[in-house]
Chains A and B, each alone.
Chain A
Amino acid sequence: GAVVSQHPSWVICKSGTSVKIECRSLDFQATTMFWYRQFPKQSLMLMATSNEGSKATYEQGVEKDKFLINHASLTLSTLTVTSAHPEDSSFYICSASPSDITDTQYFGPGTRLTVL
């Protein structure tokens, strides 16, 4: 149980295009999902906290107009990287907290974004 999926697993896009990444909790409901960014050989940096039915809370320094987050249901959150540029290339990982076990986060497998 407690499986989180991400789609796509790897995406390559041209500079200036927008990319949507999906995060799904497959066998549990998640009121809260988190989006992280990880650069090569570095730790995870929290970008934003996504709450179902409300606006996401962004960490300091993260542009909310650049990284659009939508948490429309208890099993799906999406991150859209708008007008992507090469510096947005990174590994994006989501996690989900079960609605009844809020101290625990289950992580997705990650999405590797390469912007040319």
Chain B
Amino acid sequence: GEDVEQSLFLSVREGDSSVINCTYTDSSSTYLYWYKQEPGAGLQLLTYIFSNMDMKQDQRLTVLLNKKDKHLSLRIADTQTGDSAIYFCAEASRGGGNKLTFGTGTQLKVEL
């Protein structure tokens, strides 16, 4: 089946940029998503990118997609303490009936 991998943990200082990486195996992915999960809460959709795009920017968030390498990244500029959370990438594949396959999640810790 599809496999989506992320590094487990990232620590940055407040004000720095954070880059969270994700690799996936399904070459038929149509949309790729980034979700944020705070402790004990559900998932908040941050942004998404269509598979024929290379980059998408939304305020402090920049998504880069390298379809050839099946690599997705999320860059958070000027990271704040409120950005501390777990970040999941997810992919939806063509013919998957809108089912999402989630990555393992990256815990982002922002230090003062």
Residue of B nearest to A60 (CB): B1
Q: Is the CB of B99 within 8 A of A34?
A: yes
Q: Which of B10-18, B39-47, B56-64, B70-78 contacts A (4 or more CB under 8 A)?
A: B39-47
- On chain A, the residues within 8 Å of B80 by CB distance are none
Q: Mark A28-62, 1 if CB is under 8 A from B, else 0.
A: 00001010000001111110010000000100000
- On chain A, the residues within 8 Å of B40 by CB distance are 110, 112
B100 within 8 A of A: yes
Q: Is the CB of B44 within 8 A of A107?
A: yes
Number of interface residues of A (CB under 8 A): 25
Q: Is the CB of B102 within 8 A of A49?
A: no
B92 in complex: contacting residue of A4, A32, A103, CB < 8 Å: A103
Query: How many interface residues does chain B have, given as a range?
Result: 20 to 34
B42 in complex: contacting residue of A34, A45, A57, A107, CB < 8 Å: A107
Residue of B nearest to A5 (CB): B42
Q: A32-B98, A105-B98 are in contact. Are A43 and B104 (CB under 8 A)?
A: yes
Q: A43-B88, A44-B88, A103-B31 are in contact. Are A49 and B99 (CB under 8 A)?
A: yes
Q: How far is the CA of A109 from the CA of B42 in the complex (A)?
A: 4
Q: Is the CB of A102 within 8 A of B41?
A: no
Q: How far is the CA of A49 from the CA of B40 in the complex (A)?
A: 23
- On chain A, the residues within 8 Å of B31 by CB distance are 103
Q: Is the CB of A105 within 8 A of B100?
A: yes
Q: How far is the CA of A104 from the CA of B31 in the complex (A)?
A: 9
Beyond A107-B35, A110-B40, 16 additional pairs, beta carbon < 8 A: A43-B88, A43-B104, A44-B43, A45-B102, A46-B99, A46-B101, A103-B30, A104-B48, A105-B100, A107-B42, A107-B43, A107-B45, A108-B42, A109-B41, A109-B42, A110-B42
